[in-house]
A and B are shown apart, each in its own frame.
Chain A
Amino acid sequence: MSTAAPTLPPKRVITTKPRFSDKVFRAVVTTGGFSSLVILGLISIFLLTNSLGVFKNEGFKFITGFDWIGPQPEAGLPSQYGIGAMLWGTVVIGLIALFFGFPISVGAALFLSYYAPEWLKKPMVLVIDVMAAIPSIVFGLWGFFVLMPHAEYWAKLIHKYLGFIPIFDVPAPAFTRSPFIAGLVLAIMIIPIITSISREIFAQTPLDRIQAAYALGATKWSMIRSVVFPYGRGGVIGGAMLGLGRAIGETVAVYTVLNIVYDIRIEVLLSAGGSVASMIVNKFGEANPEEVKALMAAGFVLFLVTLAINFLANIIISRTARKG
């Protein structure tokens, strides 16, 4: 034991200046954080530069026209690119998907939130999560080989009894690979999205209002109509829009179950429809460089539309979630 006076360590300099390691850390993380913005920017720039020529040549007719004729040097005809029919087809199958998928999803979300017995909730959430994880090619094969024969039969029934309504009319007896069937497959694919978002929103309904409704003697349905729906309306609509975005961008599943025809038709049961995303895959195989650029233009339009839908949906959902 030495008795020498203890030497105090030098005073630590306390500073708010970030260390060098922190500067590097923050710089790296910030760069990484911005890289998704950069990627989105790159996607827009590269798709746009590749499609500028087509946009210039076709003008507004690229959106409204519905002819897609590749270059025919031997015939001396100019090429013509228009995605009007495909856009129309996309809207049609998207709406059919929502028509079937939306009520089922909202019903299932209600079931999970307010009706299902406790033991059933966990397995059912699992089922929905698994469905969200199934690859689209699986839906495509299942839709083609399993659902199509049934759906064809349903389509014939609808045509037989409701054929006088123009949209259910079928000029030629071809019921397979119709927008109706593509819409059904898409409906099953978007159910997990809409259900899980609706369920999250329903779960945020203030409990005191629910109990107030019950205390006033409301039945379960009156409670849902007067408390849950008004509260969660925005979120459910946002979820439906996210589902629509997925339906619009779906490629492989639609391609396997839809017969792509360049024509604007309102007969949803007929074996002729369109979808921008599937058309890109359809044409890409035999496309020459010029046609590839036109496909890039179609992809750019698809990119903008889905981005806009997603933006809007996310705004609506976050507003609803914050309201409570």
Chain B
Amino acid sequence: MSTTLTQPVKPWRINFKQAWPEIVGAIAALILTYAIVNVSPLKGKLGFVVTLVFVATFVAAAVSWVRRDRKAAFNSISTVMVYIAGLFVIFPLGSILYEIIHRGIAGLSWGMFTRDMAVTASDAPLSEGGILHAVIGSLYIVALATVFSVPIGLLTSLYLTEIKGKAAGTIRFFVQAMSGIPSIVAGLFIYAIWMIALGNQYSAFAGAMALAILMIPTVARTSEEVLKLIPGDLREAGLALGGTQWRTVAMIILPAAQSGLITSVILGIARVAGETAPLLLTMGGADAVNLNPFNGNSSAIPFYVWKNFSMGTEVSIQRAWSGVLVLMIIVLIFFSLTRFLSNRKGRF
């Protein structure tokens, strides 16, 4: 017994007969661009790319117009434009990541994580000094900011999804607006309340409070999205078993939403780990390790980058790039963690 397998037919697949005008058009566009770039004063890769964009759009439009009509020509133009827009989104990220690795790797060494800048000038050779003080400062401020913002963010999201009080709409609205507060304003506010009104000095604690203000809306909004996904059945089941609302939320809702809530916290950390502006107003910036987060100037990785960039010497800029590389690695680790957690199946 033999069965004959019929090959699936794909009539929508573009065959050569339909495609040849486009192929010819593409080749013509390339040649034309090359010619224009050689003749005109436009130079370099950029000139080539810009000319190619215009020529390609023009040729694509011309081909469609000849083959079909004006509408098809507009369709071709818009298609080319939309593809270019897509490219423009990918290109900067590629360039940023490439340059960070390319320029930052030279100054990177294990030794830099064991030394601070207390006795090292910014333009001393790279074998001296390091970012230990900045790493410790960053750990302090991120940990403290998480401690401050997670309870508030979580309670806000619980209020919005579980209690659904009269003010829920207003609060949701204000939390959304709060996520647009410029980071410098958060820094100014902490300066006004913590330094001017209460008379304290610069400290990691103050920096952490400024970051917490920026972190609360992120945590609150993403947690709300997560809690919204918990089926109402679970809540009703909890109440039907005789549980109070408190027991239902604590024993059923929160465990069910666990991985999503962790994701929201990490998202908040990724949001604030690289913030610079509020730290400039609240942390003072130190060159030595400061183990006391409540008193005295301290540094953080973004602050370290900022300081070395401002010095402007060759070595200090190299230090700044290495700092950026470390910062990006940390941010990307947190970012991948959120992806990993939210992609796990079987959880809300």
Specify the chain B residue showing the minimal Cβ separation from A310: B180
B182 touches A (CB below 8 Å): yes
Distance (whole angstroms) from the CB of B26 to the closest CB of chain A: 17
Task: Check if A251 sits within 8 Å of B158, measured CB to CB.
Answer: no
Task: Check if B331 sits within 8 Å of A110, measured CB to CB.
Answer: no
Which residues from A are CB-within-8-Å of B155?
Answer: 28-29, 31-33, 35
B346 touches A (CB below 8 Å): no
Q: Which of A10-60 contact B (CB under 8 A)?
A: 18-19, 21-22, 24-26, 28-37, 39-40, 42-43, 46-47, 50
Specify the chain B residue showing the minimal Cβ separation from A189: B92
Whole-angstrom CA separation of A21 from B168 in the bound complex? 22
* A115 touches which of B86, B277, B324, B335 (Cβ 8 Å): B86
A307 touches B (CB below 8 Å): yes
Whole-angstrom CA separation of A115 from B184 in the bound complex? 39
Q: Which of A270-324 contact B (CB under 8 A)?
A: 277, 280-281, 284, 292, 295-296, 299, 302-303, 306-307, 309-311, 313-314
A214 touches B (CB below 8 Å): no
Contact (A307, B78) CB under 8 Å given A26-B163, A30-B159, A47-B188:
no
Distance (whole angstroms) from the CB of B185 to the closest CB of chain A: 5
Of B9-17, B118-126, B189-197, B200-208, which binds chain A?
B189-197
Task: Check if A299 sits within 8 Å of B83, measured CB to CB.
Answer: no
Task: Check if B275 sits within 8 Å of A127, measured CB to CB.
Answer: no
Which residues from B are CB-within-8-Å of A35?
Answer: 152, 155-156
Which residues from A are CB-within-8-Å of B193?
Answer: 42, 46
Distance (whole angstroms) from the CB of B131 to the closest CB of chain A: 14
Specify the chain A residue showing the minimal Cβ separation from B242: A12
A239 touches B (CB below 8 Å): no
Q: Which of A39-83 contact B (CB under 8 A)?
A: 39-40, 42-43, 46-47, 50
Distance (whole angstroms) from the CB of B241 to the closest CB of chain A: 13
Task: Check if A135 sits within 8 Å of B180, measured CB to CB.
Answer: no
Task: Check if B79 sits within 8 Å of A134, measured CB to CB.
Answer: no
Specify the chain A residue showing the minimal Cβ separation from B186: A43
Of A163-171, A205-213, A240-248, A259-267, which binds chain B?
A240-248
A99 touches B (CB below 8 Å): no
Whole-angstrom CA separation of A135 from B304 in the bound complex? 14
Contact (A188, B180) CB under 8 Å given A29-B163, A108-B85, A134-B274:
no
Specify the chain B residue showing the minimal Cβ separation from A279: B184
Which residues from B are CB-within-8-Å of A18?
Answer: 244-245
Whole-angstrom CA separation of A32 from B93 in the bound complex? 38
B320 touches A (CB below 8 Å): yes
Distance (whole angstroms) from the CB of A167 to the closest CB of chain B: 21
* A133 touches which of B151, B271, B306 (Cβ 8 Å): B271
Task: Check if A314 sits within 8 Å of B173, measured CB to CB.
Answer: yes
Task: Check if A32 sits within 8 Å of B276, measured CB to CB.
Answer: no
Which residues from B are CB-within-8-Å of A245?
Answer: 180
B101 touches A (CB below 8 Å): no
B162 touches A (CB below 8 Å): yes
Of B28-36, B67-75, B228-236, which binds chain A?
B67-75
Whole-angstrom CA separation of A250 from B328 in the bound complex? 19
* A284 touches which of B74, B173, B180, B281 (Cβ 8 Å): B281
Specify the chain B residue showing the minimal Cβ separation from A185: B92
Of A1-9, A174-182, A215-223, which binds chain B?
A215-223
B181 touches A (CB below 8 Å): yes
B309 touches A (CB below 8 Å): yes
Of B51-59, B212-220, B255-263, B286-294, which binds chain A?
B212-220
Task: Check if B92 sits within 8 Å of A131, measured CB to CB.
Answer: yes
Task: Check if B82 sits within 8 Å of A111, measured CB to CB.
Answer: yes
A162 touches B (CB below 8 Å): no
* B181 touches which of A133, A144, A307 (Cβ 8 Å): A307
Which residues from B are CB-within-8-Å of A103?
Answer: 85
Instruction: Give the interface size bracket for A toward B.
Output: 35 or more
Task: Check if A135 sits within 8 Å of B86, measured CB to CB.
Answer: no
Whole-angstrom CA separation of A299 from B183 in the bound complex? 10
Task: Check if A136 sits within 8 Å of B158, measured CB to CB.
Answer: no
Specify the chain B residue showing the minimal Cβ separation from A193: B180
Interface-centre pick from B95, B155, B183 (highest chain A CB count, 10 A): B155
Residues 118-153 of A, flagged 1 when their CB comes within 8 A of B and 0 if not, give: 000000101111110111111111101110001001
Whole-angstrom CA separation of A315 from B95 in the bound complex? 35
Task: Check if A188 sits within 8 Å of B92, measured CB to CB.
Answer: yes
- A-B pairs, 9 with minimum CB distance: A135-B274, A32-B155, A107-B85, A249-B182, A33-B159, A310-B180, A25-B246, A111-B86, A219-B75
19 pairs, CB–CB < 8 Å, chain A vs chain B = A22-B244, A32-B152, A33-B155, A33-B171, A34-B171, A37-B174, A43-B213, A104-B85, A115-B79, A115-B82, A141-B309, A145-B317, A219-B75, A249-B185, A252-B277, A302-B182, A302-B184, A303-B185, A311-B177
Given contacts A114-B82, A136-B275, A307-B181, 14 further A-B contacts (CB under 8 A): A30-B159, A33-B155, A33-B160, A43-B181, A108-B86, A124-B86, A124-B89, A134-B274, A136-B183, A138-B274, A145-B99, A191-B89, A292-B191, A306-B181
B-binding residues in A (CB < 8 A): 18-19, 21-22, 24-26, 28-37, 39-40, 42-43, 46-47, 50, 103-108, 110-112, 114-116, 124, 126-131, 133-142, 144-146, 150, 153-154, 188, 191, 195, 219-222, 224, 242, 245-246, 248-252, 256, 277, 280-281, 284, 292, 295-296, 299, 302-303, 306-307, 309-311, 313-314
A-binding residues in B (CB < 8 A): 46, 71-72, 74-75, 77-79, 81-86, 88-90, 92-93, 95-96, 99-100, 103, 151-152, 154-156, 158-160, 162-163, 165, 167-168, 170-171, 173-186, 188-189, 191-193, 196-197, 213, 216-217, 220, 244-247, 249, 270-271, 273-277, 280-281, 302, 305-306, 309, 317, 320-321, 324, 327-328, 331-332, 335, 339
